[in-house]
Amino acid sequence: MMQDSVMPFANALSEVPFLGELLILAFAAGVGYVLWQLRSFQDSLAEFGFRIELAVQVFARVHHITKRRRWVLSQLYGSGIQNMHVVLLVGLFIGMIFALQTGIELARFGQQDQIGVIVATGMAREMGPFITAVILAATVGSALAAELGTMSVSDELSALDVMSVDAISFLVMPRVIALMVIAPLLTVVCDTVAIFGGGFVARSQLHVGWSLYFDSAIQALQTYGAVIPLPKDVYAGLFKAFIFGGIVAVISCSCGLKARGGALGVGRATSRAVRDSIIAVIIANYFLTWFIYQS
Amino acid sequence: MNQPGPGMESDDILIRMIDVHKAFGKTKILRGLSLELERGKTLGLMGGSGTGKSVTLRHVIGLITPDAGVVEVDGNDLAKLSKKELSALRRRMGYVFQEGALINWLTVAENLALPLQENTNLSKAEIDDKVQEKLELVHVPDAGAKFPTEISGGMKKRVGLARALITDPEIVLYDEPNAGLDPQIAASINDLIRELSDKLEVTAMVVEHRIECLKRVADEVIFLFEGKALIRETTADFFQPTHPRLKAFLGVP
């Protein structure tokens, strides 16, 4: 079957005139493009190195946390409580979409009673931590980059340097810690409202009863992991959120610290923070999933 | 004309720059700047825009490292200091930034207290006393509880000065201490700068465009031109220029 569909394409390809020349041309263009981009590739590598270094420096200063507790708490409030409504709203609709999409398909096979399972595991494993990380990147990450970026371009970071105040301990560490704490908490909120949103759709549009939906959802989340005696899907999702929080905070702070050149530079740093955070979260998500679920 | 450079030997040179070069991208800012500053003296820096006055100050406190050449403070080559040693040296220095560079989410009092909280073992009461003392020194005794966004540009500047002085530094670097101040406040700030060097033997470098400021505070003035110290004179002589470039710069016929 597979071959049937591939062959006509291969046949058609063999009839293209100057195919070899075209391929060589395309290859040359590719090489040229790579060479042209090499500089930005080098910059990206340097940037990556800076972020890894920043992360290491932050964790080397975690013991300053009691001295910085005031800033950690204010960051927790700023990143957590002030974005709660976004998580509630987005989580609710994600759960509703999830239930609707899977429910329509499942209904064709008479499997609507599985909606709760799919929404609950899907949210706990993947969507909850990911959506929370995206929300945090867009709200807190952008704010961190703008805040530190403004400090950078208005000489405040230089002032800290001159006063022998360690900017990583004073500025970056509390923000990273706060986001690593708040991301799993918001994920729990996101998962919970999403399951309720899914239940609402299941009941109103797919005619699945509350109790059936919630029983199957709760049942699905009670598979215990081999390593830690806790429901695996839940703690795996929370662990992901914990890592995502760190990634978003470190990348956003690094963009802010590196901002140069006035308002324009702050703008660039902010958009870069959001873009790079989301990309890094997606890539990290794959590796974490592989790490957690491979066995 | 007194040419600056390593030729001027003195036992008590606190700041020394030898043949410093610095470029940003393709723009060469400093092209072989050399200068020396004795302990307790105040040196003014003048020059057109982009001649590297602020860049020079930033070199002295190690915010910028030179592409070539040596910057020494109290006999220490800044390039050879470890992070810790540089940090220890900086505690003896103060820097007044052009726009104040106050931390926006700390109150004025917290801004002033920050270097003391971070680097000393003073009690809260001692820190509070010092903060109030410095705020009074720069004529903003009531600003402590306000945030930097709630005070005027001139007040920010004075708070920035107070913060630079909070550790009672031996060396203070002023980046345009008069910019944005009304003449009366500017004069009182200039009196303060003068008083610090007279009474406490503070060594200072002052970047400033206002002639009346340098006349009041500086012992000597350097004219930066094309990345070098073109002219160095005592303040009185500097403002009676003979060199055609300086005459043109000062607008003296």
**pLDDT above 50: residue A264:** yes
Looking at the structure, tell me whether residues B45 and B81 fall in a common domain: yes
**pLDDT above 60: residue A203:** yes
Which domain-ending residue is among B168, B190, B220?
Answer: B168
Q: Which residues of A touch B98 (CB under 8 A)?
A: 155
Beta bridge partners of B13: B38
Find the closest chain B residue to A167 by CA distance: B118
Q: What is the CATH number of the domain that holds B38?
A: 3.40.50.300
Looking at the structure, tell me whether residues B72 and B34 fall in a common domain: yes
Distances in whole angstroms, Cα of residue A35 to Cα of each of A39, A40, A177: 8, 10, 39
Least confident range of A31-40, A67-76, B211-220, B221-230: A31-40
The gap from C-alpha B106 to its chain's centroid, in whole angstroms, comes to: 24
Percent of chain B past pLDDT 90, that is, above it, reads: 53
A91 in Cβ contact with A194 (< 8 Å) = yes
In one-letter notation, the amino acid at residue B63 is L
Which of A67, A73, A160, A163 to substitute to test the interface with B, most B CBs within 10 Å? A163
Predicted pLDDT at B158: 87
Q: What is the mean pLDDT of residues B86-108?
A: 91
Looking at the structure, tell me whether residues B1 and B45 fall in a common domain: yes
Range of the domain at B246: 1-92+169-253
Can you tell me the distance from the alpha carbon of A158 to that of A155, in angstroms, rounded to the nearest whole number? 5
Q: Cβ of B163 and A163 within 8 Å?
A: yes
Q: How much is the pTM? A: 0.84
8-state DSSP, B96 = E
Can you tell me the distance from the alpha carbon of A256 to that of B104, in angstroms, rounded to the nearest whole number? 15
**pLDDT above 70: residue B168:** yes
Looking at the structure, tell me whether residues B231 and B108 fall in a common domain: no
Looking at the structure, tell me whether residues B103 and B84 fall in a common domain: no
Q: Which residues of A touch B149 (CB under 8 A)?
A: none
Can you tell me the distance from the alpha carbon of B106 to that of A74, in angstroms, rounded to the nearest whole number? 12
Q: Which residues of B touch A161 (CB under 8 A)?
A: 63, 90
Which residues lie closer than 8 Å to A164 by C-beta, 6 or more apart? Answer: B87, B88, B90, B91, B115, B118, B119
Across chain B, what does the average pLDDT equal?
Answer: 89
Question: Is A163 part of the contact surface with chain B (CB cutoff 8 Å)?
Answer: yes
Which domain-ending residue is among B168, B193, B227?
Answer: B168
Looking at the structure, tell me whether residues B197 and B85 fall in a common domain: yes
Q: How confident is the model at residue B213 (pLDDT cuts 50, 70, 90)?
A: very high
Question: Is A66 part of the contact surface with chain B (CB cutoff 8 Å)?
Answer: no
Alpha-carbon radius of gyration of chain A: 24
Can you tell me the distance from the alpha carbon of A216 to that of A117, in angstroms, rounded to the nearest whole number? 6
Predicted pLDDT at A37: 77
Question: Is A158 part of the contact surface with chain B (CB cutoff 8 Å)?
Answer: yes
Tell me how many domains chain B contains: 2
Across chain A, what does the average pLDDT equal?
Answer: 90
Q: What is the mean pLDDT of residues B115-120?
A: 90
Predicted pLDDT at A8: 74
Nearest CA among B74, B85, B56 for reference residue B11 = B74
Looking at the structure, tell me whether residues B164 and B185 fall in a common domain: no
Looking at the structure, tell me whether residues B52 and B88 fall in a common domain: yes
Q: How confident is the model at residue A75 (pLDDT cuts 50, 70, 90)?
A: very high
Predicted pLDDT at A4: 56
B154 in Cβ contact with B188 (< 8 Å) = no
Which of B55, B83, B87 to substitute to test the interface with A, most A CBs within 10 Å? B87
Which of B83, B95, B124, B176 to substitute to test the interface with A, most A CBs within 10 Å? B95
Which residues lie closer than 8 Å to B26 by C-beta, 6 or more apart? Answer: none
Looking at the structure, tell me whether residues B28 and B142 fall in a common domain: no
Distances in whole angstroms, Cα of residue B175 to Cα of each of A205, B161, B164, B226: 69, 10, 12, 19
Which domain-ending residue is among B119, B139, B168?
Answer: B168
Looking at the structure, tell me whether residues B80 and B196 fall in a common domain: yes
Looking at the structure, tell me whether residues B177 and B228 fall in a common domain: yes
In one-letter notation, the amino acid at residue B12 is D
Can you tell me the distance from the alpha carbon of A96 to that of A5, in angstroms, rounded to the nearest whole number? 37
Digit-coded pLDDT (tens) for A148-184:
999 999 999 999 999 999 999 999 999 999 999 999 9
Complex confidence, ipTM = 0.87
Can you tell me the distance from the alpha carbon of A157 to that of A173, in angstroms, rounded to the nearest whole number? 15
Number of CB atoms found within 10 A of residue B223's CB:
23
A62 in Cβ contact with A177 (< 8 Å) = yes
Digit-coded pLDDT (tens) for A96-131:
999 999 998 888 888 888 899 999 999 999 999 999
Digit-coded pLDDT (tens) for B53-74:
999 999 999 999 999 999 999 9
Least confident range of A92-106, A224-238, B115-129: A224-238
Looking at the structure, tell me whether residues B25 and B107 fall in a common domain: no
Give the dihedral of Cα atoms B34, B36, B42, B46; nearest 10 deg: -10
3-state secondary structure A177-240: HHHHHHHHHHHHHHHHHHHHHHHHHHHHHHCCCHHHHHHHHHHHCCCECCCCCCEHHHHHHHHH
Digit-coded pLDDT (tens) for B27-36:
999 999 999 9
Per DSSP, chain B holds a count of helices (H) and strands (E) of 9, 10
